[in-house]
Structures are given as structure tokens and as C-alpha cells.
Amino acid sequence: MGNIINDNWFVGGDFNMIMKSMERKGGGKVEQSLINRFTCFIANVGLYDLGYSDSPYTWRRGFLYMRLDRFLANSSFINHFHIIKVQHLSPVTSDHNPLLLTLAFTVFGNVHTKVKEAQHYVDTLEAQLETNPQLLDNVVQAHIALLDAITVEENLVKQKANDSSFVVGDRNTKYFHATLKHRRNINNILKIRKGDGSILTNAGEIGDSAVTYFSELFQSSTQTMSVNSSYFVDEYDYIKDLSLSYPPDEHEILNAFKSICPNKALGPVGLSSAFYI
């Protein structure tokens, strides 16, 4: 279906399933194989989760919380809109939270082009800032817009990388290296602003400035803050129940195979996880 529909396409509502274990709080655990089947289906039809803000859950019953409601869209839809926001609102008459989808109806083309345009605008304003300090607020807003564009681009690339691993198996090698190169490029520090307001663009000067900053930071006196151990109760109980020093039994091995999407890359002997189930 994802290969057939090339226009903007999105779907939303109660899917009665979670995509990650962290989307559930309380109650018994969901079978990982069911979660994998759901995420594989979404990847196979070329859809991506649009994310959310506010409460992490959309459904509640007693002490059980789950994110069952979501919006999904294809890459054409994501590329078409400048801003896509999904909010989980407070429930009123239902045990489900209503979802609010906000779109900026501005066609802006490819997300990668948007990042380049935002970066160019930032560079232009920063060049003018040296002679016109009144542009400082404009520079700040331009940086915010650039970070937003990079976030959208990163989310799309990350989800497309997952899509590739589910759909095309070993053929995702080229895409993986392209994604890795992309992340290296955006993680490069091209310029920094020092405490005195001056901007460094030389790689050597940037490195020396970073070394000086952290050397002074670690030499300065620091205060130790106490941490509330109650924040880690769930993690502690989970780790305590694990028998990490014992070999896995047949049931654990079978569940491990079920948790692997059958569309993933074949194993060393040329068989997928579906062969062993």
C-alpha cells in the first residue's frame, strides 16, 4: 500500500496497540511479538508516527495507562507541511484522551531542503549581526527555526532507517551509511560563540576553546545534589526480577525469536526468525 499511494496520506485514531513497551504503565506486559507485528505493519505500508506532546498516554483504566491513540502519516504528508504537532488533551467524557492535530498549511518541499534554507538564513543574519547588533533577536529566532527543521529531518531519517531495516533487509546497507554520514554532518561543530560574544569558525580554535572551557569547568568547585531514589523504583524492581546469571530456558528463547520482526535481515545460515517459531 505504501508503494501505491504517492499523495499526502495520514490516518489517526484508536489502534488498540502500542508501538513500544514504554507506552504502557501498570498492568501486565504486552506480548512483544504483538508489538512487533504492529510496528512491522506500519513500516510496511510506509507510515510514520507523528509523535505527541503533553501526557505520554491516551487511555486509562484504573491504574493502567497506555498510548493507544496516535496519528500516522506517509513521507509525502510530512514533507508537505511546515509544522505538524499532535497534542494529547485531557479526557472529558471518555476514557480516551482526545488528540489535537495542528498543521501549518505551507508547502515547503523536501525536509532536507528546509534545513539548508534555514542554515543559509542563519548564516546571512550572523554575518549582518557584526555590523547591526539590533538583529540579535532575529538571529535567535532563526536558530530556533533551524533546530526545528533539523528535528523534523532527524525524525524522518530515523524512522525511514527503521522502515528500511524492516522492509528491505540486507539491502539497507547503502541507506545505513548515508544515514550515518548525515548524522556526522549535522553533529559537526562549525561555529561557536564564546562568553565574550565573539564567534569562532576555525576548527583548531573551536577545539582549543572546548578544552579550555571543560578544563576550567572541572577544576571549579561543584556541589553534590542528592537524588530521590524513588524515581528508580520501577527500574530497580525490573532488574531485581531478572536472572541475568542463569542460561535462558526454552520459553525465553522462543519469546526472543517471536520478538524479532520476520522481515529483518536473514541470519548467518540464511533463515529468518520465522523459521524457528
Digit-coded pLDDT (tens) for 150-177: 777 666 665 555 544 444 444 444 445 4
The pLDDT of residue 71 is: 93
With 0.85 as the threshold, say if the pTM is over it.
no
Q: Where are the domains of the chain?
A: 10-103, 111-188, 234-272
For residues 136-153, average pLDDT:
81
The pLDDT of residue 170 is: 42
pLDDT at residue 77 above 90?
no
The pLDDT of residue 159 is: 57
**Please, which pLDDT band fits residue 108 given cuts at 50, 70 and 90?**
very low
The pLDDT of residue 57 is: 93
How many whole angstroms separate alpha carbon 97 and alpha carbon 116?
A: 37
**Please, which pLDDT band fits residue 82 given cuts at 50, 70 and 90?**
low
How many CA atoms lie less than 13 Å away from 98 in the CB half-sphere? 8
Give domain 10-103's CATH architecture: 4-Layer Sandwich (3.60)
pLDDT at residue 60 above 60?
yes
Specify burial of residue 187 (Cβ count, 10 A radius: 0-12, 13-18, 19+). exposed
Q: How wide is the angle at C-alpha 114 spanned by C-alphas 81 and 137, nearest 5°?
A: 100
